[in-house]
Chain A
Amino acid sequence: MSDPNPPYRSSAYTSTLLRAPARPLVLPKLGPDAVEASSPVFGHHELGALDHDLTRHAATEPLGERIIVTGRVLEPSGRPVRGALVEIWQANAAGRYAHLADQHPAPLDPAFMGAGRCLTDDEGRYRFVTIKPGAYPWRNHHNAWRPAHIHFSVFGTAFTQRLVTQMYFPGDPLFAHDPIFQSVPEFARDRLICGFDLDTTVPQWALGYQWDIVLGATPAEGAAG
Chain B
Amino acid sequence: MTRTPSQTVGPFFGFALPYGGGPQIVPQWQPDAIRIGGRVLDGAGDPVPDALVELWQPDGQGAISRETGALRRGERGFCGFGRCGTDGDGAYWFSTVKPGPVGGGAPHAALLVFARGLLKPVATRIYFPGDSEAHATDPVLSLVEAQRRPTLVAVRTGDRQYRFDVRLQGENETVFFAL
Chain A residues close to B by CB (< 8 Å): 1, 4-8, 10, 13, 15-23, 25-31, 33-36, 38-43, 45-47, 74, 76-78, 85, 87-89, 91, 97-99, 101-102, 113-115, 151, 153, 159-160, 162-166, 180-181, 183-185, 187-189, 191-192, 212-216
Contact = CB atoms under 8 A, between A and B. Distances in A.
A159 B176 CA distance: 15
A160 B3 CA distance: 13
B18 to A, nearest CB: 11
Contacts, number: 229
Given A36-B110, A41-B68, A26 B12 contact: no
- Size range of the chain B interface in the assembly: 35 or more
B17 A192 contact: no
A26 B177 contact: yes
A22 to B, nearest CB: 5
A7 B119 contact: yes
Q: Which 8 residue pairs spanning A and B have beta carbons closest together?
A: A15-B117, A43-B68, A89-B16, A40-B81, A115-B16, A19-B117, A33-B103, A46-B71
B119 A6 contact: yes
A97 B119 CA distance: 20
Given A10-B119, A41-B68, A164-B7, A20 B103 contact: no
Interface string B65-108: 11111111001000111000000000000000001001101001
Contacts of B42: 18-19
A165 B5 contact: yes
Contact of A26 (B2, B99, B143, B170): B143
